Amino acid sequence: MNRRPLLVLALLTLIGAALRLWGLDAAPPGLHPDEAANAYEAFCLRTTGAASDGRALPWVFPMHGRFWVEGSYVWLVALVQGLPLSLPVSTRLPAALAGVALVPATWCLARRLLTPRVAWVAAGLLAVEPLAVHYSRVGLRASLVPPAVAWALVLLLDPRGGRPAALWRGALAGVLAAFALWSYTPQRVWVPLLGLALLAAFWSRVKREPTRWALAGGLAALALVASLPWTLGGGGRARLDAVSLLALEGGGGAQLGAFVKGYALAFSPRALLSGSSSRGFWAEGVRPLLWVEAPLILLGVISLAARSVRRVGEAGPARARFLLLWLLLHPVPAALTVPAPNPLRSIGVLPLWALLGAEGARTALALAQRWRGRPARRGLGVALVVALLVNAGVAGARYGADFPRDERRAWFAGQSAALEGLLLAADQAGADVEVECAWVEAALVECAGRRWRPSTRQAARAHVTLHGRGHARWSALLGPERLIAHDASGREVYRRPVR
């Protein structure tokens, strides 16, 4: 058995793990309020067995007093929150480990959908790509989607083994697809679309193994049907109304125009190669994709388009058609929401960029050999590796330099410092504190974890009560400019700016 491919994969996975786990508490600096809300609910679940509103062993959790969100990520955070880790690290660790798992999943996908020789290229691109690295360093439920979908595809497309093994792989693929579908609301659109793309591209394979495919699709469909009442008419409706394209005024024409615009912007250079601080937890100046990837992805798309229309054989055209359908469908979940483009809502595309880049590299090397022979192929290969390493190093340095300058992060830090001061003053006065805030802040979780018992009630805003000695009660309002607290008589007892 040739162990060299596995050793290369292990090395690339270690590189990916280092980029995702190193300095996890420092970059991005400070917890985003959505991350803090996950940590807060995980703390309540771990210490009381219930969500912050008192529901025991819940599958959905309140967030910021406005919405209800799926709870798969909160449960994972609760499992690691008791470890001796800082709050940012414990909150982001499930996302980081999910990102590490995506590296070997991309390697396996490349072997199934491209060729074994370029699998290491795809895994290497995924390991260092800024977009993939960043979404492994933020503690959000969307980060669980790419590895779940990628491993489901690997299992479903694996041709090895007899009937029992194939059925087990089909069942596990269905479970992973159901997990991805339930973990993040936009995936209730994306996972069915990806399933239709699979059927369209691999229909002949489906007809040969109908039970395996029906098992995988049936489990995913069951999860979808079970989730729709909550998504469309239950607790998930408030979040859906806040981001759905259907909430736009102007009727169907305006909504269709917004969809077309959002879909087209997903392929724009600004969305792929520039980035924007107003979309998907990104930082201004940090490029989502490496510039080395851009020509490789374009060449890969051209190569797949040519392969998809060939009539020689079946596997090559079917795989090419599936990858092209994946590319064309991936912006749909983000385009159905506002504002667009938002790469977080189309996060299922992450392994695809690496696959397209690997196909482009394979095509470029083949053209170089045809043009000038093996020396040209080797020279181009070395040049691509050097360019990738330099580009990844520059992007990493830019990532570490730009996020600390992000003004939003400074705002989060100011809010947390103000809350720390308030809770210290309340502790000295022996008072409970009810904080009314637009967003759950990291300081609430940190202080609650030390000596306070939190509870939350749902309203237009989040009302978090921190129970201390209980001899008095303060009411605090956290606004965009300052934090002000009053005692039961209405006397101001604390004031601090947050900017």
Phi, psi of 464 (to 5 degrees): -105, 120
In the chain, % of residues over pLDDT 90: 48
Q: Is 335 helix (H, G, I), strand (E, B) or coil?
A: helix
Q: What is the pLDDT of residue 314?
A: 46
Nearest in space to 275 (alpha carbons), one of 390, 409, 395, 143: 395
Q: What is the pLDDT of residue 137?
A: 93
Model confidence pLDDT, tens digit, residues 131-149: 999 999 999 999 999 999 9
Q: Is 495 helix (H, G, I), strand (E, B) or coil?
A: strand
- Residues facing residue 464 across a β-bridge: 435, 456
In the chain, % of residues over pLDDT 70: 87
pLDDT over 80 at 172, yes or no:
yes
| Residues 190, 346: Cα–Cα separation, whole Å | 8
The mean per-residue pLDDT over the stretch 387-404 comes to 85
pLDDT over 90 at 390, yes or no:
yes
Q: What is the pLDDT of residue 312?
A: 47
Higher pLDDT, 248 or 229: 229
Phi, psi of 483 (to 5 degrees): -115, 125
Give the pair of three-digit tokens for residue 147. Answer: 């590895």
Signed CA dihedral, 127, 131, 134, 138: sign only? negative
The mean per-residue pLDDT over the stretch 156-182 comes to 90
pLDDT over 50 at 460, yes or no:
no
Q: What is the pLDDT of residue 453?
A: 58
Nearest in space to 123 (alpha carbons), one of 4, 8, 295: 8
Q: What is the pLDDT of residue 408?
A: 59
Model confidence pLDDT, tens digit, residues 297-307: 999 999 999 98
The mean per-residue pLDDT over the stretch 261-278 comes to 80
Domain layout of the chain by residue ranges: 4-30+85-405, 407-497
Q: What is the pLDDT of residue 277?
A: 47
Q: In the structure, what pLDDT confidence band is assigned to residue 71 with cuts at 50, 70 and 90?
A: very high
Higher pLDDT, 242 or 189: 189
Q: What is the pLDDT of residue 217?
A: 95
pLDDT over 70 at 399, yes or no:
yes
Q: What is the pLDDT of residue 405?
A: 67
Phi, psi of 232 (to 5 degrees): -95, -30
Model confidence pLDDT, tens digit, residues 240-258: 777 787 777 777 888 889 8
Q: What is the pLDDT of residue 3?
A: 79
Burial string for 356-390 (b: 16+ CB within 10 Å, else e) reads: bbbbbbbbbbeebeeeeeeeebeebeeebeeebee
Q: What is the pLDDT of residue 292?
A: 93
Higher pLDDT, 410 or 374: 374
Higher pLDDT, 278 or 54: 54
Q: What is the pLDDT of residue 164?
A: 86
CA angle 24/27/32 to nearest 5° reads 95
The mean per-residue pLDDT over the stretch 452-473 comes to 61
Higher pLDDT, 134 or 412: 134
The mean per-residue pLDDT over the stretch 384-405 comes to 86
**pTM for this entry:** 0.89
Within 10 A of 53 (CB to CB), how many other CB atoms are there?
16
Q: What is the pLDDT of residue 14?
A: 97
The mean per-residue pLDDT over the stretch 143-156 comes to 96
Across the chain, mean pLDDT equals: 86
Q: Is 342 helix (H, G, I), strand (E, B) or coil?
A: coil
| Residues 412, 88: Cα–Cα separation, whole Å | 13
